[in-house]
Amino acid sequence: MSLQFVVDGLLAGSMIGLGAIGVTLTYSILRFSNFAHGDFMAWGAYATLAVVGAIGAMFGKIAPIAPLSFGWPLIVALIIGMAATGLLALALDMVLFARLRAKGQAIIVVMASFGASMALRSLLEFIFSSRPTYFSRAIQIARPIGFGIRITPDQIALLLLTAVLVLGVHLLMTRTQTGRSMQALSQNAALARIVGIDVAKVVRVTWIIGGALACVAGVMIGILIQIRPFMGFEMLLPMFAAAILGGIGSVPGAVLGGLIIGLAEAGAVQLIGAEWRAAVSFIILMAVLFVRPIGLFGVRER
């Protein structure tokens, strides 16, 4: 078999992994499964697309940065999109999740996130229609890099971006006071308050990080595949499978889980056919829950 599935799998895994970081942080810090997380991806992609359009309207046509398919407008738009998606997550928490959390029943918050997911998705269809759209219609030539693998410049750039973001989040979590506060809150919320951690502030940071990374994942899907209102919802199962496979609360675990699932999906497509792609996350999720429910990097609570 061809090794091309490795590149495809790493790319899919990057998108899944970036999304899974948000899922795992939300779960470990706020103690609920946010089913609207996939829709943050779609909103991030559309927000970035809208900013690209606005820049295009203001500055006219701008040549892409060779050899990539996009120019500086997309980079600027991505940064604005990340901020916007972070704020969207924050706003959703303020108007919906925080109020329900205060009532103390996690399952209600989970159900509410399902509702939010549907509402966010319908709103996108209403504003942008459900027709797929693209950042660029230019076709990139994939270059051979040996072992029968071909890769486009866009793909290389996005893999590097993922690596930088993952490293950044990992350093934030382990080397900064904010990151330590997030760890503390996920391990013992009552004690976190006692040692002087402002829980509301940490929760805000969590949403902003999760939203911003979801936006990057959404834009990656938009650059490499296409932009559709359903794009994020379809990532939900692989993202949760990745977060659980990696161990809830672990950033490196979420990314590794994402890469494993991405590679497994791509391998399955090549070996047994594309119609089985969706089943792969499900099978891995079941296997983890049966064999090692705490995941690869999970630790049993003492």
Partner 1 sequence: MSQTVLDVRDLEAGYEPGVPIVRGASITVDHGEIVVVLGPNGAGKSSLIKAIAGLVPITGGTVLLDGRDITASPAHTMVRLGLAFVPQTENIFPLMSVEDNLRVACGILRPRETPARIEEMYAAFPDLARQRRTAAGNLSGGQRQMLAVARALIVHPKVLVLDEPSAGLSPKFVSMVFEMLAGIRKSGVTILLVEQNAKAALAIGDRAYVLVEGKERHQGVAAELWTDPVVAELYLGQRRLDLGQGSAA
- Residue from 141, 190, 290, 291 touching partner 1 (CB under 8 A): that is 190
x/- letters, 242..281, toward partner 1 (CB under 8 A): ----------------------------------------
The smaller minimum CB distance to partner 1, of residues 182 and 235, is found at: 182
- Residue from 47, 197, 216, 269 touching partner 1 (CB under 8 A): that is 197
DSSP 156-218: HHHHHHHHHHHHHHHHHHHHSHHHHHHHHHHH-HHHHHHTT--HHHHHHHHHHHHHHHHHHHH
Among 72-80, 81-89, 178-186, 269-277, which window interacts with partner 1 (CB under 8 A)? Answer: 178-186
- Cite the beta strand spans of the chain per DSSP E: 143-144, 150-151
The smaller minimum CB distance to partner 1, of residues 139 and 200, is found at: 200
Instruction: Give the position of tokens 């971006």.
Output: 161
For residue 100, how many other CB atoms are within 10 A of its CB? Answer: 17
Among 68-76, 96-104, 194-202, 260-268, which window interacts with partner 1 (CB under 8 A)? Answer: 194-202
Q: Find the shortest distance in angstroms from Cβ 30 to partner 1.
A: 17
Tokens of 223: 């650059």
Is position 193 an interface residue for partner 1 (rule: CB under 8 A)? Answer: yes
Q: Find the shortest distance in angstroms from Cβ 195 to partner 1.
A: 4
Q: Find the shortest distance in angstroms from Cβ 155 to partner 1.
A: 36
Among 44-52, 139-147, 180-188, 232-240, which window interacts with partner 1 (CB under 8 A)? Answer: 180-188
Q: What is the number of residues in the chain?
A: 302
- Given CA atoms 270, 272, 275, 277 in this order, what sign does their dihedral have? negative
Residues 245 and 286: beta-carbon distance below 8 Å: no
- Residue from 133, 183, 226, 270 touching partner 1 (CB under 8 A): that is 183
- Residue from 94, 191, 283, 286 touching partner 1 (CB under 8 A): that is 191
How many whole angstroms from its chain centre is CA 241?
13
Is position 293 an interface residue for partner 1 (rule: CB under 8 A)? Answer: no
Tokens of 225: 């595949």
How far the first Cα of the chain sits from its last, in Å, is: 45
x/- letters, 89..128, toward partner 1 (CB under 8 A): ----------------------------------------
Is position 196 an interface residue for partner 1 (rule: CB under 8 A)? Answer: yes
x/- letters, 202..221, toward partner 1 (CB under 8 A): --------------------
Residues 244 and 289: beta-carbon distance below 8 Å: yes
The smaller minimum CB distance to partner 1, of residues 170 and 180, is found at: 180
Among 130-138, 147-155, 215-223, 294-302, which window interacts with partner 1 (CB under 8 A)? Answer: 294-302
**Cα separation, 54 vs 58, whole angstroms:** 6
Per-residue CA distances from 94 to 82, 87, 110, 129, 277 (Å): 18, 10, 15, 27, 36
Residues 46 and 88: beta-carbon distance below 8 Å: no
Q: Find the shortest distance in angstroms from Cβ 181 to partner 1.
A: 6
- Which residues sit at the interface with partner 1, rule CB under 8 A? 177, 180-181, 183-184, 187-188, 190-199, 299, 301-302
